[in-house]
Structure 1
């Protein structure tokens, strides 16, 4: 198998394990590859005809079981890391389910995960707090690829928190006691570097004292400013985090957003200005590492 065939096989594998739609797989590339090797097609057909074997009943039975199986509301998606590992997620098939959009992985979360892989030094040996973690893709990628000392997932919706914990366990991690800001979390299984916890965090009610106990070095968030009603509370918690940081410590804040509505995104930037928070657009990462659709521009802002 030459390099082109290896690349094509890798593409099909990545698309398949990310549960992309069948029509989106690189069929045209496959057709071009086969057209260049007509002997390969003839060889496959000849071998099939030469066996003169009857199809096995077991194959038909297995097909019938699949066709008759009830449709589930969830799916499992796997993302292949450049290091050779994987992150597997159980998520909803519907964009909105259980009254929330937080049970699916959004493009900005994947984009931020890719960017993190190319900026490992920002996360290495740091304490990271993720706001609005959803079902956990970005955090799990960072924990497996960027070597943080401590990682705190957070969200508020109970169904999202439940699915988030499920995905963390699915990827072989052990959690500390939830919502104890002061207790040192248990070590993650198979790693002496990362400590991991899940926090139920209400942006409206959490106090600066509680945030100071979290004592994060890096704050990240993905796709949390899509709704004007959420922008004010999100801007306020960023202010609290910056106000309660210890004098001797610097705080790095990165917010990834899919710009679906330019007016909504401008509102977020305006709220940051009103709160006297400075911001700048971060340069995009160089290489796309995961399979996903980018129908709208995605930007990462650093806030300070």
Structure 2
């Protein structure tokens, strides 16, 4: 706080935070923890923190529990936090809603988003002209790629109608407020179990997917779709897929890899990724392709 004297006002009274309220339970817990830690180190919590806490408690008692809330992902590596770009996402309070998990953000998407936004190694994809996200959910990974690659075409795909509606909302939110609003970002329906081969995009150079290993019954259709996309002959340099998932059950990940390899997809590299604070646990990322393409290093220490 000594280095950033206005950080509390910047975070808790920012126009984005006021206009797009976060999940009240998380917000209140953060404020209480921050005030407690400041007291431990004999700092005087500012009026902003106490006022924000009181407002959060009053709002929660008046409005009850909201079904949706917003999450703001600022680029904390920006030299001027007051002008730092951010990604804004709407998501459901419940992790499973409308019979799908796609209306909430999950840890593996944070890993990919952080990689595209901050990693110096993401320059390997700076010349990608078309990226396709499979099972985009809230769209964090794909939106992060689009915000970092202004000239790229980005297609965010999913199958559930409610997910597609929220995904379109998130695209509209970000490409109203993003400085990289020239990106061509679109939302398309793509059901891994029911698609027509001739309608698949044939020019996507980069396929990304996060947290797509939760349902083993979907592994075979996902692998079949991925193979078709990776074999696109219209991409001279070859297609690369980046897949990141949370390791909840090691045997599930092993099954996923076996099915991927049974579809003649080469796993070129595998990386263990960790967030610095460890909140989201172990993540694992795979680099997949049909042929040898650009080499890059995806460092676990970075996250």
TM-score tier after normalising by the smaller chain length? 0.7 to 0.9
Q: SS at the partner of 1:89?
A: strand
Cα distance in 1 for residues equivalent to 2:252 and 2:55: 52
**Structure 1 residues 172, 278: closer, same or farther in 2, change over 3 A?**
closer
Deviation at 1:298, TM superposition (A): 0.4
Tell me if 1:302 matches 2:274: no
1:252-263 superposed matches below 5 A = 252-263=240-251
| Cα offset, 1:147, TM superposition | 3.3
The 5-angstrom pairing of residues 230-245 of structure 1 reads 230-245=218-233
* Residue 190 of structure 1, CA deviation: 6.2
TM-score, normalisation: structure 1:
0.74
Task: Structure 1 unaligned segments of length 5 or more: list them.
Answer: 45-59, 175-187
Contact map agreement 2:67 2:94 (CA 8 A) in 1: yes
Which has more radius of gyration? 1
Equivalent position of 1:197 in the other structure: 186
1:95-150 per-residue CA deviation (whole Å, 9 max, x = no partner) reads 11111110000111111111222133233242100001111111222211233511
Q: Secondary structure at the match of 1:152?
A: strand
**Which runs of structure 2 are paired with 1:1-304 in the superposition (5 Å)?**
2-3=2-3, 19=23, 21=26, 25=30, 30-31=35-36, 33-37=38-42, 40=44, 67-81=61-75, 82-83=77-78, 84-117=84-117, 118=119, 119-126=121-128, 127-173=130-176, 191-192=181-182, 194-211=183-200, 213-246=201-234, 248-283=236-271, 288=276, 293-295=279-281, 297-304=282-289
Contact kept, 8 Å, 2:22 with 2:69, in 1: the verdict is no
Distance 1:4 1:61 in 2: 23
In the TM superposition, what is the alpha-carbon distance from 1:209 to its structure 2 partner?
A: 2.7
CA deviation digits over 1:239-267, x for unaligned, max 9?
A: 11122333623211100011111111110
Please state whether the residue corresponding to 1:172 is helix, strand or coil.
Answer: helix
Q: TM-score, normalised by structure 2?
A: 0.75
> How many residues are aligned here?
268
- Which is worse superposed, 109-118 or 62-71? 62-71
Q: Deviations over 1:4-36 (max 9, x none)?
A: 86778888899x876472575386665454455
Asked whether the 8 Å contact 2:202–2:229 carries over to 1, the reply is no
- Alignment RMSD, CA only? 3.6
Matches of 2:99 and 2:62, distance apart in 1: 29
Contact preservation (8 Å) 2:28, 2:56 = no
